[in-house]
Structure 1
Amino acid sequence: MDFFDILLDRQTPLFHPGDLIVGKIVISLSKKVKVNKIKILLNGIANVGWLEDKTSRNDTKYVHANKNYIHLDLILIENKSMEAGRHKFPFSIKLPDTLPSSFQDNHGSISYSLKALFDIPWNFEKSTKKDLTIYSNVDLNSFVGLAEPKTVSVRRSSGFELFENNNIRITLAVDKTGFAPGEPVIFTATIQNETSKDLKHIKMNLVQNCKFNIDNESKEIQKKISTIEYANHVAKKSTQKWLCSNWILPQTCPSSVDEFDLVKISYNLELKMTASIGFKKWKEKMFCYLFSTKVSLAKISWNTWMNFGCEN
């Protein structure tokens, strides 16, 4: 066998649930061979696992689980002879309408792949594999208020309760709460610094929250996906407005739809800053939840829903 591969009709192997996967298996032979079968397999599986400390001793146990989302086995030819030369075997597979998005992490993954098998008598089975990326679908037209602006205000003390004017007041506003990757997040952060110290290192972070669930066990980790930093600092006893319109949402795994799945993905939008109070560093953080899905009526892949809140 000189060549054996899976070729897809689209250049990038990115799909949504309900899409049609169209492609062909291409085989180049240097001589005539008898073939038991040639088939294509589509697999989608979640794998989750991590080391968990035992309570009784210092030992650890490995907690793990998996879940199949799709397994399809399609035979293209069976019990035939193939002449030397180049051969093509077209196939088309329709994805189910509901599938979770692809995801990869050290503690868990949701992965999809096509695998072609070439089985000939009295020989080892040959195979080739192509990984797929799938983004899940949700119609955001069913959610109300995504095109409306949203504002949240908080007040935080510097920690010196004996002093009345040691507060930091923050108002964060966005012009809408529905976004697509590649769109700018337009926001205004008004920071009123009543303390006697400057506020520095003011940043907005997009943070991905990953929660892995196995029965009654769970593990949570966070990853910073994107950051934009304010060019100035807020001097003591002053107020500044940070108007931002050039922070572009990156392409990243959409948030999970199924609350009870093995892998749960969500996003926080955090506003952070640092102030030197005595010998300590002080940080304030506000966040919003990002819920990423596909809009069926818009010419974009998937959108983002934000619901603001404050972290104590």
Structure 2
Amino acid sequence: MVLGKVKSFFVSYDCLNDSNVPVFASGDCVSGRVVVEVTGDIRVKSLHIHAKGLAKVRWTESRNAGSNTAYTQNYTEEVEYLNYRDILIGHDRGKRLLFKWATGRHEYPFSLELPQIPLATSFEGKHGSVRYWLKAELHRPWLLPMKVKKEFTVFEHIDINTPLLLSPQAGTKEKTLCCWFCTSGPISLSAKIERKGYTPGESIQIFAEIENCSSRVVVPKAAIYQTQTFYAKGKVKEIKQLVANLRGDALPSGKTDTWNGKMLKIPPVSPSILDCSIIRVEYSLMVYVDIPRAINLSLSLPLVIGTIPLHPFGSRTSSISSQCSMTMNWLGITLPERPEAPPSYSEVVREGQGPIESAVQEDPEGVLYSYIQEFRLQPPPLYSEIDPNPEHSCCPVEQRPDLCPSR
């Protein structure tokens, strides 16, 4: 008797949304089917599934040990969020029963409940990742097991309709330029945004005032940065990535520029990860003044990228934010013109890509899902490794405060 062959073997999920993307949250039921197609009669011992959720960090550093010798140190850390096993057909070890499958398609449903504890959002970074997957194993007599694995996405929901994330963010900074014994007037920067929490597809309204009393022509700009922080064995690795940016008009000496709600659109990005002990993903809006031959004057405002968008009438606990949100009508806002890449963040982050244009669905639950595939399938971003204690290059006077009479 000639046994048949396995034509196809795959895992299929039952999607919970209209975007046909398998996306789940803590406490959700992950269901689907393991499908096997055979071209002839085969004998099967068992069909197992194993669901796993794991946050993992890994990087390598080289160190000098003296006498021209060097060694590498590996830093790794893991956090397990899910570990589930089940037998769809078959028996435990010690039992020799065989099952016979006829030619055709065979489907075996599965179902498992994700833990109720907060789960880390699925993420892919340079030095770590958060991944969830389900693996199926088909065991047949006298043959090696066949294995297939398929990932699914988990989002730990962040509702931006909370008093903390609806509170306005603002700041003010000033910088005086000097070169040897010559001192010019100050450059001042004030910026404000209506709230701290946003979702992908929204545009941030930036209110700013830039006063240039120096002798140089400066350019106001704004950018969104993503900061990835990885922790392992007491060490910290930090990555900054440019997400989106815009450029204002050049500001001559003695002039003032005002931004009355300048728009900066948030492209498809991963939500903030704030509850994982080994990986954090945070965002910030940097409003800064590009100053020739000097360190930029910058103001950083923290952001949280959430998954549950702003309610149509905002929150009762934040009347100011509610009024701004209602007048903003962000679903109807068009994309700003594609900005040019600005200079680096604190002189260390290289130029990055501008925002990615995407349609925003009107269904609040669909806004997030419309971006899932985009940020998951984007090419690797431009990374820059940030020293926690950077030494900035500057002019001789900024290196020698004693030479500047204004200090």
Which interval holds the TM-score relative to the shorter structure? 0.7 to 0.9
Match of 2:56 in 1: 47
CA–CA separation in structure 1 for the residues paired with 2:309 and 2:210: 38
Question: For each residue in 1:229-254, what CA deviation from the matched residue of structure 2 results, as whole angstroms up to 9, or x when unmatched?
Answer: 22x11111100112345422223222
Once the 2 structures are TM-superposed, how far is the Cα of residue 140 of structure 1 from its aligned partner? 4.7
Match of 2:14 in 1: 9
Match of 2:230 in 1: 212
CA–CA separation in structure 1 for the residues paired with 2:281 and 2:197: 18
CA–CA separation in structure 2 for the residues paired with 1:108 and 1:121: 38
CA–CA separation in structure 2 for the residues paired with 1:172 and 1:86: 62
Give secondary structure in 2 for the equivalent of 1:146.
helix
Task: Return the letter of the residue paired with 1:243.
Answer: N
Please give the residue correspondences for 1:1-312 in structure 2 after superposition, counting only pairs within 5 Å.
Answer: 1-10=6-15, 11-54=20-63, 56-57=65-66, 58-78=70-90, 79-97=98-116, 98-141=118-161, 143-160=162-179, 165-200=184-219, 202-230=220-248, 232-258=249-275, 261-276=277-292, 280-295=293-308, 299-300=364-365
Question: For each residue in 1:204-235, what CA deviation from the matched residue of structure 2 results, as whole angstroms up to 9, or x when unmatched?
Answer: 111111111113112111111222222x1111
- Aligned-CA RMSD value: 2.4
Give secondary structure in 2 for the equivalent of 1:59.
strand
Once the 2 structures are TM-superposed, how far is the Cα of residue 122 of structure 1 from its aligned partner? 0.9
Task: Return the letter of the residue paired with 2:81.
Answer: Y
Is 2:27–2:114's contact at 8 Å kept on the other side of the alignment? yes
Q: Unaligned regions of 5+ residues in structure 2, if any?
A: 1-5, 91-97, 312-363, 369-391, 393-407
Structure 1 residues 233 and 110, CA, compared in 2 at 3 Å: closer, same or farther?
A: same
Once the 2 structures are TM-superposed, how far is the Cα of residue 145 of structure 1 from its aligned partner? 4.6
Task: Return the letter of the residue paired with 1:189.
Answer: A
Task: Return the letter of the residue paired with 1:124.
Answer: L
Give secondary structure in 2 for the equivalent of 1:282.
coil
Alignment length (residue pairs): 296
Q: Unaligned regions of 5+ residues in structure 1, if any?
A: 303-311
Task: Return the letter of the residue paired with 1:169.
Answer: S
Task: Return the letter of the residue paired with 2:260.
Answer: L
Task: Return the letter of the residue paired with 1:285.
Answer: S
Q: What percent identity do the matched residue pairs reach? A: 24
Once the 2 structures are TM-superposed, how far is the Cα of residue 297 of structure 1 from its aligned partner? 9.2
TM-score when scaled to structure 1? 0.86
Is 2:289–2:298's contact at 8 Å kept on the other side of the alignment? yes
More strand by percentage:
1
Is 1:184–1:245's contact at 8 Å kept on the other side of the alignment? no
CA–CA separation in structure 1 for the residues paired with 2:172 and 2:125: 35
Is 1:165–1:194's contact at 8 Å kept on the other side of the alignment? yes
Give secondary structure in 2 for the equivalent of 1:189.
strand
More helix by percentage:
2
